[in-house]
Amino acid sequence: MSKLGNVKVRKNTGALIGTRRQINLIEGANVTLTIADDPTTDEVNVTVAAAAAGGTIVVRKNSGADVGTQPRLNFIEGANITLTVVDDAVDSEVDITIAGPAAAESVWLDQFFPAVDPDTHKGAYAAVTLTDGIDVPVYQTFMIPDDITTITNAVVIVIPGGTGNLRWQCDTAAATCDENFETHTDAIGATVTAVITDEFECIDISDALTDATSGDIVGIQFIRTASNVADTVGADVYYIGILIQGVV
């Protein structure tokens, strides 16, 4: 057969692959050929279209079924969410920062309960006398306000008549309506706290109220055990009341 009009074919300027009168163009993976005879220009137009390069990503939610398989992901900001997307050429990645709403600030409530049946006063403050040298109990009952969801601090406030170590202990009970009056009980054993004359001293009794919650009626017995030698105040101490602090 005559080789006049044959076409020589090679690839990438390499060696001759073949010499034929016609060429067969075959669509490979991710390639589409559009071929049209163009008699006007005496040629055949071949359009080669390639699909976008790159792999695909399989996406699922909460380790569940596959949601989709696509070559890219589109992150959409939902309610109260902010997305910050930065192309990081140094690490060859895209950095995505997902931020939620700022945490709500806690609202604090202080509630003071004055001494019940005061027998004296210290300056202008009504008080119950915790006499030096003997063990004197003080009883106080109050309800934790419904507004307080969590008790964060509870202190007994006293004004000491002298400087030294105050020895004390505390017992508590807590319950609400239709419960046994001692549903929750707790105690702090003998404890020594350093005090200074005429200063407001706030003695922490929070550990005796760990089970008490909003709406509970709380009973407290606070005892100064001044008969013990570990109590070195050497003077009367004046019980003013109880302060509780909590989160609303």
pLDDT in tens, 107-157: 768 899 999 999 999 999 999 999 999 999 999 999 998 888 788 899 999
| Dist CA 45 CA 98 (whole Å) | 50
Determine the residue type at 104. Answer: A
Question: Would you say residue 161 has pLDDT above 90?
Answer: yes
Domains in the chain, ordered, with CATH?
108-247 (2.60.120)
Does position 12 have pLDDT exceeding 80, yes or no? Answer: no
pTM of the model: 0.60
Q: Which residues contact 195 (CB under 8 A, 6 or more apart)?
A: 158, 160, 163, 164, 165, 166, 201, 233, 237
**Which carries the bigger pLDDT value, residue 27 or residue 8?**
27
* DSSP for 178-206, written as a single string: TS-TTSEEEEEEEEEEEE-TTS-EEEE-G
* Angstrom distance (rounded) from CA 43 to CA 34: 14
Q: Starting at the earlier edge strand, list the strands of the sheet with 164-175.
A: 135-143, 217-225, 164-175, 184-195
What is the per-residue pLDDT for 89? Answer: 86
Summarize the confidence of residues 90-108 as an average pLDDT.
Answer: 79
Higher pLDDT, 243 or 248: 243
Query: In terms of pLDDT, which residue wins out, 203 or 107?
Result: 203
The alpha carbon dihedral of 209, 214, 217, 222 has a sign of positive
The pLDDT-based confidence of 71 (bands split at 50, 70, 90) is: confident
